[in-house]
Amino acid sequence: MTTTQQFDILIIGSGTAGLTLALHMADHARVAVISKGQLDEGASLYAQGGISVVLDKTDSIQSHIDDTLLAGAGLCNEEAVRYTVEHARENIEWLIDQGVTFTRDGVTSETYHLTREGGHSHRRIIHSADATGREVETTLLDKAKAHPGISLFPYHIGIDLITSQKHLKETLNKALGCYVLDIEKDETKTFLAPVTVLATGGAGKVYLYTSNPDVSTGDGIAMGWRAGCRVANMEFVQFHPTCLFHPRAKSFLISEALRGEGARLLLANGERFMQRFHPRGELAPRDVVARAIDHEMKRLGHDCVYLDISHKPATFIKSHFPTIYKRCLALGIDMTREPVPVVPAAHYTCGGIMTDLQGRTDIPGLYAVGETAHTGLHGANRMASNSLLECLVFARAAADDIKQQALQAVTADVPPWDASQVQPAKEAIAITHNWDELRRFMWDYVGIVRTNKRLNKAKQRLALLQQEIDEFYSQHHISADLLELRNLADVAGLIIDSALLRKESRGLHYTLDYPAADEQQPARETIMLPES
C-alpha cells in the first residue's frame, strides 16, 4: 500500500541548489528534501575549483558578464547572465553567514584568495582549497539537518511527477507532487505539495566516461519532460578536459584551477600543444581544450595527455591542491615531481528544463534549479565555476518567488501508485546490459566530435533499447536501477535529437558535417517539446 505525505514544498535533490532553496524557505514552510542516495552524494560534493564572483577591485561586473557571454558562443540569455553576476556577491556572503570557510590570501589576511580558470579574464574564483563543493555541501547539509522546518529523506528516488493533467484528467496542468520509491524499504510513496522543485543535477552518467558521481542520471530532466516541460540545448554537453587517467581511479576530476595556477598540458614527449589551438593556451574555454586533447589523442593514438604543475614549489602545490595531491599520491603519482595523466570526460549538462529567472517551469507549481534547469546562463558552453553560482542565485530567486504565494495543501484525490499489473523481475541482467550499451554508444557516437552518421546510428540503437526498457518497465516492479536507466534513455534521446537539429558547430557541439558556426542566421536555442 502506498503511503501519502503532505508538505508545502517538495524538493527532489539534495545538492547545493536543493539545500539552498530549502534553507531559504525553512522558516516559511514545511519542506521535504528527497535524495536517492546519501544526502551529501551528488556533483556538488565533488566540485573542486570554486565559485565565480567579482571581489577584486581590478575586476568588474561587466567583465564577468562579457567573459560568460563569450564562453557561451552567442547562445546565452544576456538577461540571465546579468542577473546571475549581479547577485553573485550577496549569495557568497550568505554562504559565509552559513559557516562556509573560503581560503584566504594568508593566515592573517582579511581578503580571500581568488584563482583564475578557463574563460575568465580576471582572478574571480573564490574557493575552499581544492574542495569547495565539499565545504559548501556539508555546511549546508548540517544546517538543513538542524532546522525543524526541513524533513530529509535519503535513499528515496522520484518515479514520476504527479500533475493534474495526467493524473486527474484536468484541462489545466499543475504540479501536485511526485511518486517516490523508498529504496531501502522497497515501497512506493506519494509525496504531495503545492510546490515541487526539481534539483537533481545533470546527466553525466549517460556517457561511459564522466567526472560525475553515479547519481547523475538526468532524473529531473527526464521527469520534467515527461510531465510536460520544454527542454532546451541538450546537445551542449561539457566534457571536462582533465580527468585523472588511471585504472584504479573512478571519475576523479583534476581541477581547472591547476591550469589557472600555471599547469601545462603536455604530450607524452613533453611538448606543449594548446598554443596551436587557442591564443589563451591552457586557459582557453573548456570546449576548446577538450577538443584539442581529443584531437591530439586520436592523431597520435595515445590513451591520454599529461598535466604538469611540477615546476611550481611543492609547498604551493600541497597547500593549494591538497585533495588532488593526496589522491594522486595514493595512486603512485607525485604531482610535485611529475605530470599527471589526464583525459576528457563528460562533466556538465548545459541544457535542461526551461525556466524563467525565478526558476519557474512551463507547469504551474513546478520549479527547476541547478544543473537540471536551463536558465540561459551558460549558452553553448558553461564558463568555469559559474555552476555553483547558478545554483545559489536561482535557488534564492525561486525561494523569493515561492514566498509570495499562499501555499495551500493538495486536496485533490490523487490516485495511489498502481503496481497491481506487474511482477518481480527474475533477473536484472537486461538492465545491466542496456545500461552499459547505452553509455558506450553515447560515448562513441555522441561524444566530443560528432557526425550525422554517428548520431543516426545512436538514434537507431536507442530506439531498440527504449523498446526493451519500456517493455521491462511495464511488466516488472520498479527498482532504482530501472528508474535510472529509463531516465538516462530519455535524456539520451533528447541529446541525440537536439544534436541532429543543430546544423552547425557552436560551443560544445562540434560536428564534422558542419564544422563552422552558421553566421547567416541568429543563434537559436534547440527546444524539445514535451513528450506527447
Please check the confidence at residue 65 and state whether its pLDDT lies above 90. yes
Q: Give the structural domain span for 443.
A: 429-517
> Considering the entire predicted model, what is its pTM?
0.92
In which band, very low, low, confident or very high, does the pLDDT at 451 lie, cut at 50, 70 and 90?
very high
Mean of the per-residue pLDDT values for the chain? 94
> Within this chain, do residues 146 and 18 fall inside the same structural domain, yes or no?
yes
> Within this chain, do residues 255 and 372 fall inside the same structural domain, yes or no?
no
Neighbours of 456 (CB within 10 A): 13
Backbone angles phi, psi at 386, to 5 degrees: -90, -10
Q: Which of 220, 379, 205, 224 is nearest to 287 (CA)?
A: 379
**CATH classification of the domain holding 120:** 3.50.50.60
Q: How far apart are CA 47 and CA 15, in angstroms?
A: 11
413 within a domain of the structure (yes/no): no
522 within a domain of the structure (yes/no): no
pLDDT over 90 percentage in the chain:
84
> Within this chain, do residues 87 and 196 fall inside the same structural domain, yes or no?
yes
The per-type count for the chain, helices as H runs and strands as E runs, is 16, 20
Give residue 223's pLDDT.
Answer: 98
Strands, E assignment, 340-495 = 340-349, 352-354, 366-368, 373-374
Please check the confidence at residue 19 and state whether its pLDDT lies above 90. yes
Please check the confidence at residue 498 and state whether its pLDDT lies above 60. yes
Three-class secondary structure of residue 299 per DSSP: helix
> Within this chain, do residues 373 and 504 fall inside the same structural domain, yes or no?
no
> Within this chain, do residues 198 and 303 fall inside the same structural domain, yes or no?
no
The count of C-alpha atoms lying within 13 angstroms of the C-alpha of 36, restricted to the half-sphere facing its C-beta, is 25
408 within a domain of the structure (yes/no): no
Q: Residue 220 is inside which H or E element, if any?
A: helix 219-227
pLDDT by residue (tens digit) across 411-443? Answer: 889 999 988 888 888 777 889 999 999 999 999
Mean per-residue pLDDT for 280-296? Answer: 89
**Number of domains within the chain:** 3
Please check the confidence at residue 298 and state whether its pLDDT lies above 90. no
Cell (9 digits) for 3: 503511503
> Within this chain, do residues 211 and 282 fall inside the same structural domain, yes or no?
no
Give residue 328's pLDDT.
Answer: 96
Please check the confidence at residue 70 and state whether its pLDDT lies above 60. yes
> Within this chain, do residues 13 and 157 fall inside the same structural domain, yes or no?
yes
Please check the confidence at residue 345 and state whether its pLDDT lies above 80. yes
> Within this chain, do residues 158 and 222 fall inside the same structural domain, yes or no?
yes
DSSP per residue, 430-462: HHHHHHHHHHHHHHHHSSSSB-HHHHHHHHHHH
> Within this chain, do residues 316 and 355 fall inside the same structural domain, yes or no?
no
410 within a domain of the structure (yes/no): no
> Within this chain, do residues 188 and 214 fall inside the same structural domain, yes or no?
yes
530 within a domain of the structure (yes/no): no
> Within this chain, do residues 105 and 250 fall inside the same structural domain, yes or no?
no
465 within a domain of the structure (yes/no): yes
**CATH classification of the domain holding 473:** 1.20.58.100
Mean per-residue pLDDT for 450-476? Answer: 95
Under the phi-then-psi rule, with left for phi > 0, alpha for psi from -120 to 50, and beta for the rest, what region is 365? Answer: left
User: Where in the sequence numbering do the catalytic residues fall?
Assistant: 286
The alpha carbon of 246 is separated from its chain's Cα centroid by a whole number of angstroms, namely 24
Give residue 202's pLDDT.
Answer: 97
**CATH classification of the domain holding 296:** 3.90.700.10
Q: Cell 531516465, residue?
A: 487
528 within a domain of the structure (yes/no): no
Last residue of a domain, one of 295, 321, 345: 345
532 within a domain of the structure (yes/no): no
> Within this chain, do residues 263 and 131 fall inside the same structural domain, yes or no?
no
Give residue 1's pLDDT.
Answer: 57
Q: Which of 164, 226, 159, 171 is nearest to 413 (CA)?
A: 164
Last residue of a domain, one of 321, 345, 369: 345
